[in-house]
Structure 1
Amino acid sequence: MTGRHIPGDFPVSSAGERLFSAGSAQALDAQAPSWGLDPFALVEAAGRGCARILTEAYPGLFSASSPKIAAAVGSGNNGADAMVMLRALILDGHVSPAAAAVVINRMPGAEDRSPRSSALRALDKMGVSVYPWQGTIPKNDTSGIDQRAVLARADIIIDGIAGTGLQGPLSGVAGEMAAWIGECKKKAETGGSGVGKPRIVSIDIPSGNFDLFEPSMPIITADLTLAIDPKKLCLYSPGARVFAGIIRSVEGIFPPGLMQAFEGPELLTWNQVRHRVPPIGPDAYKYERGVAEIHAGSPGSAGAARIAARGAQAAGAGIVRLLVDEALYPILAVSAGGIMVAPVKAGEGADAPEENRFSPDAILLGPGWGRTPERLPVLRGALDREAAGFPLILDADAIALSRDLTFHGNTILTPHLGEFAAFTGLPKEKILSAAVPVIADTARKIRAVILFKSHVLIIAGEDGRVGIVDGMAPVLAAGGSGDLLAGFCLAIAARMKRGGYYDGYTCAAAAAALLAEIGRAPDKAHRFVDPLDLAERAASLAGRAWL
């Protein structure tokens, strides 16, 4: 019996959640009134949604007692959202008015009828203390403390200082407020006496983040970011992601039909992207699952070759062939398991004629391979095949060797920041501050898919598609995880090619999502894990998804 796969006969998910730039977010707000959504309705929905998600995030804090909460409020809608959120927490009985306060950068004028002004007026009527950042003690407060002390003693600080409308680094009063919140957090973490331990909760994005944010700019460091849909692209910039802490979605603000009118990078998760890879039929045999060929390893780097091969096995390749230098053959062959290890002489390429039964469906070059000149003939030979539609994955040393070579739309490159900077000649700082446009532009120029490895994984296709996978898994910050990822890419590419349909972007997206998913396993979150153990978890996940 033989299995078969008809391209398109497997379930395909809809596009991942779209991420919005500041410009798209402003355009969305501008179109909202045509859908019957005025600013007051949107702020009300966002603030109430934020309150609900906050109590779910910290259930113990709200069930034990009424925590002290201070909202740091700026001039925009983020400030209005923060105050509606505070009002909802009070009305729902989670916080008492006496334990709540607002520290505001500028008091609204008497004629102001904005959502921000209305929210502030309601809190004032409810007995919540309001502190202008550079103002005086309000009439309904007799404690004699100033606005800085209010923030310092809070259990939770709601950050509503600045949103996506920011056009440059935080400055002025907004910068002062953000700096003081940072001081409160720093003193708490270092055990400063007389200072509370505030949890910093940012509305939508941490204040200071925006589309052109650079890591050297001032920014709030949040413990939790309540990302109001649609989520903003700048949240997932590698240079800014760490400042957001845990990101929780606040949904149900805009109608899906309105948001779908806008293009943008897609935020991908394993549960979404796994459906884009064809499953393995119950009557499949090993060749039908794809033959994956790996050229990897050099003296001192044999482990990279082994891990990449295990990754290819884990992601479902039917046959994995590992071609290594003759000196490494005895080392790797002795414990190969189901991996077919074959020795090659320096400069040799793919299969000899008598080995055509192992003709690969996809090739991976580079893990621990070295950059010596004898690798170039193998690389050039692989690129010749790539020009004819053959899937090629280049990792590590192969990326460096390919810098001046030509791709033809069927290559996936898997660089980390240093490798990408060396490949493009761009400063690391520029890449971190504008990662998505820089990576997407590079992918279009070189006609290859780029899978950028960092705590945020970015996938860019030559056709303009961009996907983002939120990593933030400390266990993956260790040698071997990149080799594992390259093996995932290889196996998925081989399976797709053998099935009659190969799409490099989808292949890279599925591999990245699989890596992020295994990195978030609860029992592995903060300890070192052997990459081969991670391969075992990947095999379990991929097997359930694709068999």
Structure 2
Amino acid sequence: MLLIEPDAVAKIDSACITSGIPGFALMNVAGRAVSAAALRDYPGALRYVVLVGPGNNGGDGYVAAKALIEAGATVALFRLFDGQPTTDDAKRAAAECACPVQKLEEYVPMKGDVVIDAVFGAGLTRGLPASLIACIDKVQSAGLPVIAVDIASGVCGRTGRILAGALHADLTVTFMAPKIGQMLLPGRIHSGRLEVIDIGTPLRLLERFASSTGINHPAVWQIYSGPRAADTHKYSHGALTVFSGGASQSGAARLAAAAALRAGAGLVTIAAPTEAMAVNANHMTAIMLREVDDQNDLAQLLEDKRLQTFILGPGFGVGDKARDFALALATRRLVLDADAITSFRDRPEDLFDAFALGETRLILTPHDGEFSRLFPDLAANQALSKVERAQHAARRAHAVVILKGADTVIADPAGRATININAPPSLATAGSGDVLAGLCGAFLAQNYPAFAAACAAVWHHGDAAQRAGAGLTAERLINFIET
């Protein structure tokens, strides 16, 4: 589950050397792991084409080329730069490699080539040279398989963004731990299948320099998900209230409520306006129903102190009512979704101030458009990664922020973050977000801390979609939730 930032790689390498592990020893293991992966996955290659850069990534490429030659393979080596490599370890690797080196511009793709990209590593922050972009175009046009060393050249290891062109790898062999840019889009797509190789870096060093961002995984919340006690009743195991919109917009609330019940909430109630009572009653059995039209009705509802967790937003409508309801719930646990998020676009500070004190009890679930309405400056800042945008937003709002997408990021005010990687494309369907809101509410109601509740909800959302398979609808998705 550990992820590392690109700038931590050099720190880890330096700490290894201080611990008595030579840098060249790590490079040798890394390069040979690349050659082993190439021989294993592409044993029928007519030629392995190794593209090398000037730094340690290129050094890994020289070691891989040498190992492939020793295995009897045909190898062609092309370098981006003129002159010697820029690091001592890479210079040694180049000196020990018996393969002639040609200029990158001289590479002509041939049928049967397998390309090994060892040009730039995860620390790249600038655009690619024109000669490399031209080479990328040739490789991609020829449809050749590509193995990336550490990360595909041109992918930013911090943000996952493409820096003016990048190779599209079929396999990426990375070292120590995955990089954040390999988890975020589009870097995840350009990485292809990711293989993480242990090159001998001590775990204590990985843990010391690991990012505060990790991969979303059940270990994040398992401590809160034990079996129910023998004296559990429906209120003690999670009473959740979901607010419904009008009669013709009530389906979203029912999706959220049904998902919450499936995820283990002990008692789920839909609070609906008068006009939506009949349509909700006609579609529900185990879900309770309560008439709530205005602030007075809400105040009466809140007199029941057993009701501590709420979902507001799915199909509710944008406007003053959503804002007033959200602020009235400021002392309770709240999942704010969809219309309720947009309702604060003119005065987001009102929401943030209301939840500023005490434990984190607010979960926000915006997609990119909704995020830009609450946090326009963060959304517009292209220097920030998706993780950094979510972290800044979480601190500002004193909330857990689920920044949704194919690479959903969950962040909390303390700076923790996870990237979710188990969600299939089939989740891009109407109502899927309502189901996610219901899952968040269910885990909050079961007394998970807000960050753990959000991480659990996002992971179970993806897990259910994977098992549901093709033809996914939001209604069908609920039947595959297993917690």
Alignment TM class, shorter chain as reference: 0.7 to 0.9
Task: Say whether 1:374 aligns with 2:321.
Answer: yes
Q: SS where residue 363 of structure 2 aligns?
A: strand
Amino acid at match of 2:335: I
- Residues 276, 454 of structure 1: alpha-carbon distance in 2 compared, 3 angstrom cutoff: farther
Amino acid at match of 2:61: A
Please state how far the C-alpha of 1:168 moved relative to its aligned partner.
1.4
Q: Distance in 2 between matches of 1:520 and 1:54?
A: 30
Equivalent in 334, 340, 354 of residue 398 of structure 1: 340
Q: Distance in 2 between matches of 1:199 and 1:300?
A: 51
Q: Distance in 1 between matches of 2:302 and 2:309?
A: 19
Q: Distance in 1 between matches of 2:285 and 2:39?
A: 50
Q: Distance in 2 between matches of 1:46 and 1:465?
A: 30
Give the structure 1 partner of residue 103 of structure 2: 132
Task: Say whether 1:81 aligns with 2:60.
Answer: yes
Please state how far the C-alpha of 1:25 moved relative to its aligned partner.
1.8
Give the structure 1 partner of residue 78 of structure 2: 103
Mapping for residues 17-416 of structure 1, pairs under 5 Å: 17=2, 19-53=3-37, 58=41, 61-62=42-43, 65-89=44-68, 91=70, 96-98=72-74, 100-106=75-81, 109=84, 114-124=88-98, 130-134=101-105, 146-150=106-110, 153-171=111-129, 175-185=130-140, 187=141, 195=142, 197-210=143-156, 211=158, 214-215=161-162, 217-238=164-185, 240-281=187-228, 283=230, 284-298=232-246, 300-347=248-295, 350=298, 352=300, 356=304, 359-383=306-330, 385=331, 390-402=332-344, 403-405=348-350, 406=353, 407-408=355-356, 409-416=360-367
Q: Distance in 2 between matches of 1:398 and 1:536?
A: 26
- 1:321–1:339 CA contact under 8 A, matched in 2: yes
Give the structure 2 partner of residue 485 of structure 1: 436
Q: SS where residue 467 of structure 1 aligns?
A: strand
**Over residues 233-275 of structure 1, what are the superposed CA-to-partner deviations in whole Å (9 max), with x where a residue is unaligned?**
2323445433323333223441101122225223234342341
Q: SS where residue 70 of structure 1 aligns?
A: strand
Amino acid at match of 1:20: I
Task: Say whether 1:538 aligns with 2:477.
Answer: no
Please state how far the C-alpha of 1:49 moved relative to its aligned partner.
3.1
Using the TM superposition, name which of 487-496 and 423-432 deviates more: 423-432
- Residues 473, 113 of structure 1: alpha-carbon distance in 2 compared, 3 angstrom cutoff: closer
- Residues 472, 117 of structure 1: alpha-carbon distance in 2 compared, 3 angstrom cutoff: farther
- Residues 82, 300 of structure 1: alpha-carbon distance in 2 compared, 3 angstrom cutoff: farther
Q: SS where residue 32 of structure 2 aligns?
A: helix
Please state how far the C-alpha of 1:394 moved relative to its aligned partner.
0.6
Amino acid at match of 1:475: S
Amino acid at match of 2:119: I
Q: Distance in 2 between matches of 1:463 and 1:354?
A: 29
Q: Distance in 1 between matches of 2:252 and 2:16?
A: 52
CA RMSD, Structure 1 to Structure 2 (Å)? 2.9
Please state how far the C-alpha of 1:118 moved relative to its aligned partner.
4.1
- Residues 296, 123 of structure 1: alpha-carbon distance in 2 compared, 3 angstrom cutoff: farther
Task: Say whether 1:475 aligns with 2:426.
Answer: yes
Number of residue equivalences: 472
Please state how far the C-alpha of 1:104 moved relative to its aligned partner.
1.5
Q: Distance in 2 between matches of 1:260 and 1:241?
A: 23
Give the structure 2 partner of residue 140 of structure 1: none
Task: Say whether 1:440 aligns with 2:386.
Answer: no
**Over residues 264-293 of structure 1, what are the superposed CA-to-partner deviations in whole Å (9 max), with x where a residue is unaligned?**
223234342341323232523322221111
- 1:348–1:377 CA contact under 8 A, matched in 2: no
Mapping for residues 414-425 of structure 1, pairs under 5 Å: 414-425=365-376
Please state how far the C-alpha of 1:43 moved relative to its aligned partner.
0.8
- Residues 116, 316 of structure 1: alpha-carbon distance in 2 compared, 3 angstrom cutoff: same
Gaps of 5+ in 1: 1-15, 135-145, 188-194, 497-501, 543-547
- Residues 325, 365 of structure 1: alpha-carbon distance in 2 compared, 3 angstrom cutoff: same
Amino acid at match of 2:73: P
**Over residues 289-348 of structure 1, what are the superposed CA-to-partner deviations in whole Å (9 max), with x where a residue is unaligned?**
211111133454333222211221232111111222333333232232422233322445
- Residues 432, 294 of structure 1: alpha-carbon distance in 2 compared, 3 angstrom cutoff: farther
- Residues 253, 311 of structure 1: alpha-carbon distance in 2 compared, 3 angstrom cutoff: farther
Q: SS where residue 149 of structure 1 aligns?
A: coil
- Residues 49, 275 of structure 1: alpha-carbon distance in 2 compared, 3 angstrom cutoff: farther
Mapping for residues 1-20 of structure 1, pairs under 5 Å: 16-17=1-2, 19-20=3-4
- Residues 107, 273 of structure 1: alpha-carbon distance in 2 compared, 3 angstrom cutoff: same
Tell me the TM-score normalized by structure 2: 0.88
Q: Distance in 2 between matches of 1:206 and 1:380?
A: 47
Tell me the TM-score normalized by structure 1: 0.78
- Residues 80, 289 of structure 1: alpha-carbon distance in 2 compared, 3 angstrom cutoff: same
- Residues 203, 354 of structure 1: alpha-carbon distance in 2 compared, 3 angstrom cutoff: closer
Q: Distance in 2 between matches of 1:431 and 1:292?
A: 38
- 1:451–1:459 CA contact under 8 A, matched in 2: yes
Q: Distance in 1 between matches of 2:195 and 2:297?
A: 49
Q: Distance in 1 between matches of 2:302 and 2:426?
A: 43
Q: Distance in 2 between matches of 1:229 and 1:157?
A: 23
**Over residues 209-242 of structure 1, what are the superposed CA-to-partner deviations in whole Å (9 max), with x where a residue is unaligned?**
2336755732222233223223222323445433
Amino acid at match of 2:318: R
Highest RCO, 1 vs 2 (Cα 8 Å, sep ≥ 6) = 1
